[in-house]
Structure 1
């Protein structure tokens, strides 16, 4: 079950409560679902009861209890707690939580591209072009060699990158020749819009982005991708592969596995926010969080058997999870125009 699936389930429950005259409000078109800020408060949380309390003229806890009672009947949900104030903290069943990995691998390398196309079409944004169609100011920059416009188009910044400063970099072409295309594109894409008059290229720490270390964001994301590719190659040498339909995702119960599954589920939200707010940096920052989450998973969850040990069902489930992460990392990098190397 993805966050979008859970949101739709909650919306349907509220609509049923309205239809059954248990709730006197206008049926919502959407229900907010977030990841809880405090560990141990479930997989997801929603404040839908608080939003409905005023129009329903009922205490939010009463509404939350009514929603929780119906949500507990869903086999994809293992538990629902009504917290103070009417928040609902929701725990997914292990098999339902793990299905997102299967869905991603089943969709293949086009998963991120298709997600971006679906989530941005309604906002008038074309994937690969981080500005709304019909924006004539930016549309005029799509063709030609307007490097200054290109930087603004990538970052959303209003700064003028042609103003020289004391960084040693004259323009975007100089940045590319100094650090390479991947580092330049990624570093510009991850800058939040609005730089208080500074040039975008002046906000990039050349010492950081030319270093092959975890402090370098583009290296960290690309390294996570190559690390998974190496894992899958090693699995192939052992005669193991990713079994999309046969993997038992209910075995993915380790906290680090749960963290990674939830991070994978955040992709549609990150892409939608980037499109709606014209903020490519949200995709970059999402990829960094996903890469960090994978590195933590890799550090404590052994995927491949050691020595002469036989591969068990958990190996298959973790291979599926790793491959799903690879697909999202590669797709996210390509969305930003950055390569996803298989070796470093």
Structure 2
């Protein structure tokens, strides 16, 4: 029995009491009760305070309502209910009902944990969006891990999600990138405000290899080639890196296309029609202070050049025009100032900033306290991280912390294969379940004749309760946009499994015969395999069968 099924049972009992005239409530006033694990195990498997929530509305006291509800629940074979304190209900699920969860999980397979809590939401999720002026670095790596995990969570919770990478391929940084490539092709130092680093030498060698006469061309022509082809080569490298990290985008959106297609100019006109654009000192402004920004923003400079903010507005409207009612932006730590202005754009466009746009700000990731940057030439790139630590260790570690918490990686610890390493701990639990299944097969234990009632050991009750929490964890993590909740859940599930493994045998001892309890425990073992696998998949982490 899952927590959701238990909540349904409680609500059904309440509705039956309403129909019998025992509770003075309308059926529509009976909510889906919330059930939680009690802090102290001796208080039961689950607890609910629904009687305390509804008593005043029903014109009675909480304990009286709890006692009425307990009597109805105790009439079933599935639950034993006990009233505690002023009106809490402590619930113990019968072993047969609890054990049925193992069958549900195994038969559901990869679908177990999927839910409909986000059904009806159409979301554009933009993340990473690193400038095409160099490889992705450690900061982008954090957003790649979190953004992809969030997309998986939202989809598992019923949302329709399109993942998007915004390519900042317009503006002066592209000119500086081209100048850096051309300088290195000529064997000269990069300009003072250019991009250093070995990757620039690589781009220069690639471009010159295709254009042996590059340095003989007029400077403007050579810069145009360096810009166009260096950009294409760098974007191809970025795509390869993300593919190696198992991150795949539905849309690669070019900022330049907004300018070339007239979308930026059209955006200014559309916002003017909404009544929030004004002219001052020869420039065109958006009155974002009407919606909480600290100052109004320039859309078009006095010289007629649109600002980055104008492109941001055009990009927001593009997402809106493409049918995305909800837009989630994952931005780096240096983008706090974007929150108010992006929400102001939404408001100026006639949207509700509280529901149509969401901005998540991530904090810095460091190695030994060193902040990285491409222009400084000391960046730790994603490719290097993958080669050093492996995709699984990086993705799991970056996903197990809240996005808004600064994070310092201790790389060598992530390489250690011991139970102090969280990703190893969870993966090892999965591998152990697979090994148990193999041993069971060798000893003639099969799934035939499953009797869930024999799963009555305390460790089995704890493990079943942990397994039952998974769908709720997925839904909660999706709603709060917090993939780390899945990682921390997997660690608690692994702990419950390791405890169960030490106390409950799946295979008979010596020449002892296979008994119903061995079969039932194989189902429980395999259910744990499935939940660990499903949870790791949500984080983009593999579930090895041997370690």
Identify whether the pair has TM-score above 0.5, normalized to the shorter chain: yes
The structure with the largest strand share of the pair is: 2
Query: Are 1:252 and 1:314, in contact at CA under 8 Å, matched by a contact in 2?
Result: yes
From 28, 38, 50, give the equivalent of 1:36. Answer: 38
Structure 1 alignment gaps of length 5 or more: none
Deviation at 1:117, TM superposition (A): 4.9
Structure 2 alignment gaps of length 5 or more: 126-146, 168-234, 248-328, 333-359, 373-378
In 1, distance between residues paired with 2:96 and 2:542?
33
Residues 32-84 of structure 1 show CA distances to partners (whole Å, capped at 9, x for unaligned) of 1111111111111100011112322321001101111111111112x211000
From 206, 211, 221, give the equivalent of 2:426. Answer: 221
The verdict on how the C-alpha distance between 1:318 and 1:183 changes in structure 2, with shifts beyond 3 A counting, is same
The verdict on how the C-alpha distance between 1:122 and 1:88 changes in structure 2, with shifts beyond 3 A counting, is farther
Partner of 1:96: 97
In 2, distance between residues paired with 1:265 and 1:235?
24
Deviation at 1:203, TM superposition (A): 2.8
Query: Are 2:17 and 2:23, in contact at CA under 8 Å, matched by a contact in 1?
Result: yes
Deviation at 1:139, TM superposition (A): 3.7
In 1, distance between residues paired with 2:438 and 2:386?
32
In 2, distance between residues paired with 1:44 and 1:67?
15
Partner of 2:487: 284
275-284 vs 122-131, greater mean Cα deviation: 122-131
Residues 167-191 of structure 1 show CA distances to partners (whole Å, capped at 9, x for unaligned) of 7972443332221000011111111
1:267 correspondence with 2:265: no
Deviation at 1:165, TM superposition (A): 4.7
The verdict on how the C-alpha distance between 1:176 and 1:28 changes in structure 2, with shifts beyond 3 A counting, is farther
Structure-1-length-normalised TM-score: 0.86
Partner of 1:15: 15
Deviation at 1:250, TM superposition (A): 0.5
The verdict on how the C-alpha distance between 1:124 and 1:22 changes in structure 2, with shifts beyond 3 A counting, is farther
Query: Are 1:162 and 1:170, in contact at CA under 8 Å, matched by a contact in 2?
Result: no
Partner of 1:185: 395
Deviation at 1:225, TM superposition (A): 0.6
Partner of 2:519: 316
In 1, distance between residues paired with 2:507 and 2:166?
49
271-280 vs 7-16, greater mean Cα deviation: 7-16
In 1, distance between residues paired with 2:63 and 2:160?
45
Larger Rg: 2
Residues 229-286 of structure 1 show CA distances to partners (whole Å, capped at 9, x for unaligned) of 111111222232233xx21110011100100000000001100111100111111111
In 1, distance between residues paired with 2:457 and 2:33?
28
Report the secondary structure of 1:309's partner residue.
Answer: coil
The verdict on how the C-alpha distance between 1:162 and 1:45 changes in structure 2, with shifts beyond 3 A counting, is closer
In 2, distance between residues paired with 1:124 and 1:36?
36
Q: How many residues align?
A: 329
Query: Are 2:73 and 2:81, in contact at CA under 8 Å, matched by a contact in 1?
Result: yes
Partner of 2:270: none
Residues 63-110 of structure 1 show CA distances to partners (whole Å, capped at 9, x for unaligned) of 101111111111112x211000100001111100100001111223x2
Structure-2-length-normalised TM-score: 0.55
The verdict on how the C-alpha distance between 1:52 and 1:178 changes in structure 2, with shifts beyond 3 A counting, is same
Query: Are 2:149 and 2:540, in contact at CA under 8 Å, matched by a contact in 1?
Result: no
RMSD: 3.0
From 68, 71, 78, give the equivalent of 2:70. Answer: 68
Deviation at 1:141, TM superposition (A): 5.3
1:166 correspondence with 2:186: no
Query: Are 2:122 and 2:161, in contact at CA under 8 Å, matched by a contact in 1?
Result: no
